Amino acid sequence: MTREQKIGQFFMVATFSNRDEAHYQYIETLVRHYNIGGLIFFQGGPNRQAVLTNRYQAAANIPLLIGIDGEWGLGMRLDSTMDFPKQMTLGALRDTAIVYRMGAEIGRQCKRLGIHINFAPVSDINSNPSNPVIGNRSFGESKENVALKAVAYMKGLQHNHVIATAKHFPGHGDASTDSHLALPTISRSVTQLNDIDLYPFRKLIADSLMGVVTGHLHVPVVDNTPRLAATLSEKVVTELLKKELGFRGLVFTDALNMGGIGKLPAEEVNLRALMAGNDILLYPENVPDAVHKIGSAIDEGKISQELIDEKVKKILRAKYWADLHKYKPIQLENLNRDLNSSEAQLLKQELCEQAVTLVKNTNNLLPIGPLDTLRLASVSIGTDYGNAFQKMLGRYAPFKQLTYGEKPSNDHSVDEMISQIGDANVVVVSFHRMSPSARWNYGVTSASLNLINRLKQKGVRVVVCAFGPAYALRPFVGTQADAVLCAYEDGEEMQRVVPQIVFGAVPAKGVMPVTIGDWKIGNGLLTAPNQRLAYSLPESVGMRSGQLRHIETVIQKAIRDRAFPGCQVLVARKGKVVYDKSFGTLTYNSFERVTDETLYDLASLTKVLGTLQAVMILNERGAIDLNQKVAYYLTEFQNGNKRNMTVSDVLLHQTGLPAGLSRAIERAKSSGVADYRSVRDSLHTLQVGPNLYASAALRDSIWQWIVRTPLTARVDEDGRYNFVYSDLSFVILQKLVERVSKQPLDTFLNENLYKSLGVSSLCFNPLQCQPGMKIAPTEQDTYFRNSLLQGTVHDQLAALQGGISGHAGLFGDATDIAKILQMNLQRGNYGGHRFLMPGTVPLFVRTQSDRSHRVLGWDKPEVDGNSVYHAAQVSPRSFGHTGFTGNVVWVDPDYDLVFIFLSNRVHPSAGNTLINTQKIRRQLHEIIYQSM
């Protein structure tokens, strides 16, 4: 190498991938003509950076070391890439191994983008809470915790052949000045420096650390030269770092454009940094003059050629270690996919889950348990409507959601907030866009704190969720809040995780990385999971996101083929919802998109999500005996043709009942005008259609028709009735439930199941119980009701009963259905509450008859394997049900799997059977099994 080539290796020049061609040509000139040794990329995007990296490497005689300042991942600098939690968030983790995994993932991403150095981890101990530049970039205030986490992060990077650098030597944690702007003085004693600040650096060096970044810090106990930055101090870099601590890796300056370096000319700064002992000059300015200045210094004997050669050899060894001796250009194909893998997204979620710290939990308020007595409200301060936090809260329970982008500033605003909260007895108050500065009270107004105390005076239980750095907990130390959670950051991932901890789907595990009042470092209250559904990625339960993406392909084709205008699909496995998406629009001619809150007419899913649940509850209470005759409970059957049918016969559809009441329905349709009204009045209270109301007496007439209806003559050779799927079975079961419980079916379900489960969307007659909700329309009825059915039940028999029937009438969304199915899968347990005894669900899904594949209320796999709605791979123990409007639910205990598909395939006509002829639901179900 020529002398100029050797000198060029010391320069790591700053570059960007979001600049113009003039900038790119300037960098290329430095590479070609000044032989610079490396580049550090800042703002831009991954594809643009990859293209530029290939361009610059092609121009280099000696391959370039590419670096990035990615303390929390590539997303710290580049768009379209991942940012992991900041280091103080990681300081809250009990599990150091997961920090290693994060380091390894960041290392993998760096390698994929042609990066060889990540200027991380920050190894400073943040002993000064008012530190203006380190703060949440540090793992915390414990030297042991900082050292453990820094070593783990370092190893993860370096095991992927990415050089890690510990910064900012000899310790930036006690600074009170931002070194980007001016030179901080670290007023530590020798003992403090040795025992505290240098502790993590010693641990890293003793392990396998390959790089150190020297800080722009004035450290008088090491070098008392006035206003001299450690970067330029031979006593700090050579004597302390290299000789005393024995570091033999690469020494990098901090960025030489920062205010903390002083006012010296750029070329002088570069020379002095080399002479102090640094090997690589980071973000140098005026490279041509600096090269000349260093060459002159060699000629003048200020720096020896031997020292130059030694430094160059270190740099070349590092390049060899980083595999630059077998350099290959970056492959652009699938780059974005590779940098944002599902596995990396899952790791980020796990980091967030494990970091959230519960510091206060009076009377074990968290996790929130049974919901039947709770009136919940959420007050989010400093964020926007529709935020991820409140949306996730709403998945667990019905909340009155209040959002305030502007933080309350006076008593009047607090009065207004309390008025809007109303009669809620548990309020979750979340703080967003918090400040890291004590000067601004961390972004928490006195009025916000007053809100908490005012609610407590009313007897309300208050949960505080702080989406800000650990220090931002300080304002809440003196409040009366019952529970306080620190989330450290305000990203969407953290906003989705915290509600899961509030409701016990995910346990609280984190510990304090710093001390805030009585909340001491290392302390954190633990909670146990309570079997509520959590939300995660498919990879968390052994499924593949890539395979599940085929669901969208099938559904988009089905929508194009007009099999249905829109749908909801939900998949849960091992207690986690891993796929939950909505597709299409409410109608073919609508621009209104289906969302996860859209309500669908569930048709016959009412049988298993409503009536059957009530039967199971009453059965285990001893109020209903499955072997007892129905006539025992419904005395009107005692002298008729139904006197011998048992409850289990009804559940199995083996009673001789016909499929429906076709002739009775015809009678009801042709009733005189006096039986119907276009508006509700005191006599006509049953809503049959959007603008059609029937007399309440019609419900009694229908029941009498059912009592008198003849039975089928189809019996087997033993004289037993064959299987005939009959809606009348569940109308009878509805009457049985109501007679035994002395409550209407909808009231019984709400009080004994839905409220405690946190189910809010499931209801009969949604126009009355869910006003304002988006409801997917079903049929354009031209035969009876002469209108588009949207919110009134499609099934005619159910409609003639006012929309509440045992066989049809429920409306709901996939989120709430999943809670019921998961509770059944978990043998009656959900959210820390036992709804059914462990043996009840197994009893009802056990094969009882050899005359059909049905069991007690549920459907079972079709033995011929030709099902149009479930996969061939389902296990024999699986169970589910379908709904005429285009729905299916299926539970597979062997795979710990729940599948829900909701659609309005009957829109605009029930004659549309493409969903069956194309076996769309089966295709989706098979994709799910193939993903495992």
CA distance 906 to 861: 24
Nearest to 513 by CA among 90, 12, 44: 90
Whether residue 214 contacts residue 253, with contact meaning beta carbons closer than 8 Å, is answered with: yes
CA distance 879 to 255: 63
Q: What are phi and psi of 524, to 5 degrees?
A: -175, 130
Pull the structure tokens for residue 854.
């049905």
DSSP classification of residue 352: H
Whether residue 346 contacts residue 61, with contact meaning beta carbons closer than 8 Å, is answered with: no
Q: List the beta bridge partners of residue 379.
A: 402, 429
CB burial readout 495-529, b (16+ within 10 A) else e: bbbbbbbbbbbbbbbbbbbbbbeebebeebbebeb
- The amino acid occupying position 727 is D
CA distance 124 to 160: 24
Classified as helix, coil or strand, 381 is strand
Any residues with CB less than 8 A from the CB of 576 and at least 6 apart, and which?
533, 534, 535, 536, 540, 541
Pull the structure tokens for residue 767.
């126009």
Pull the structure tokens for residue 369.
């348990």
Give the catalytic positions in this structure. Answer: 180, 254
CA distance 401 to 808: 31
**How are beta strands 65-68 and 117-118 bridged, if at all?**
parallel
CA distance 366 to 643: 51
Pull the structure tokens for residue 801.
């009963």
Pull the structure tokens for residue 71.
């303390």
- For residue 441, is it left (φ>0), alpha (ψ between -120 and 50) or beta? left
Nearest to 152 by CA among 113, 105, 109, 117: 105
* Residue with tokens 């989406």, as numbered in its chain: 467
CA distance 777 to 589: 12
Whether residue 687 contacts residue 802, with contact meaning beta carbons closer than 8 Å, is answered with: yes
CA distance 131 to 900: 51
CA distance 774 to 761: 11
* DSSP calls for 245-259: S---SEEEEPPTTSG
Consecutive H or E run containing 662 = helix 662-669
Classified as helix, coil or strand, 654 is coil
Whether residue 181 contacts residue 133, with contact meaning beta carbons closer than 8 Å, is answered with: no
Nearest to 275 by CA among 247, 240, 311: 311
Q: What are phi and psi of 164, to 5 degrees?
A: -95, 150
CA distance 738 to 591: 42
C-alpha to C-alpha distances, 657 to 605, 644, 854, nearest whole angstrom: 20, 12, 16
Nearest to 134 by CA among 519, 469, 492: 469
Nearest to 72 by CA among 55, 53, 89: 89
Nearest to 922 by CA among 876, 884, 883, 865: 865
Nearest to 113 by CA among 157, 158, 63, 66: 66
Whether residue 249 contacts residue 210, with contact meaning beta carbons closer than 8 Å, is answered with: yes
